[in-house]
């Protein structure tokens, strides 16, 4: 005696094949859209990073500010050099070189 079945034998096969086809279609589409989505997200992140880090050309006011800072730096260094020269010139009555800088003194102070 055969066991009773609620469905016909062809229906089980048809349902199984239909579900397998649905699964393969779903997997291929999900992978396709997933890859497209990740690509769009990566490109958008790169674009956002580049937009926020773009500095562009400097404006005339920024250029003037940089030039002013450079000029102040150069003037301050020139003032320091002139101050040092003035201090050297006021220490001696004459502008003769000091004995410490004399080349013959180095020969005399050499240890044998």
Supply the DSSP string of 67-102, one letter for each residue: HHHHHHHHHHHHHHHHHHHHHHHHH-SS-PPPGGG-
Are both 106 and 64 inside the same structural domain?
A: yes
Domain limits for position 82 = 57-112
d(CA 71, CA 75): 6
Which of 104, 86, 103 lies closest to 95 in space, CA to CA?
86
Q: What is the pTM of this model?
A: 0.41
Are both 45 and 77 inside the same structural domain?
A: no
Query: What is the per-residue pLDDT across 19-74, written as a single tens digit (0 to 9) for each?
Result: 999 999 888 888 888 899 999 999 999 999 999 888 778 889 999 999 999 999 99
Query: What is the per-residue pLDDT across 87-96, written as a single tens digit (0 to 9) for each?
Result: 776 666 666 6
88 assigned to some structural domain: yes
Are both 67 and 87 inside the same structural domain?
A: yes
Are both 94 and 49 inside the same structural domain?
A: no
Asked if residue 75 lies in contact with residue 82, where contact means CB atoms within 8 angstroms, the answer is no
Number of structural domains the chain divides into = 2
End-to-end CA distance of the chain: give it in Å, rounded. Answer: 127
């Amino acid at each position: 005696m055969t066991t009773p079945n609620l469905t016909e034998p062809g229906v089980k096969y048809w349902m199984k094949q239909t579900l397998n086809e649905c699964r393969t279609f779903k997997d291929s589409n999900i992978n396709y859209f997933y890859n497209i989505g990740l690509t769009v997200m990566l490109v958008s992140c790169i674009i956002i990073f580049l937009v926020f880090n773009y500095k562009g050309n400097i404006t005339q006011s920024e250029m003037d500010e940089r030039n002013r800072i450079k000029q102040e730096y150069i003037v301050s260094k020139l003032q320091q050099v002139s101050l040092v020269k003035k201090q050297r010139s006021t220490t001696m009555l004459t502008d003769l070189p000091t004995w410490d800088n004399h080349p013959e003194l180095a020969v005399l102070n050499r240890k044998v």
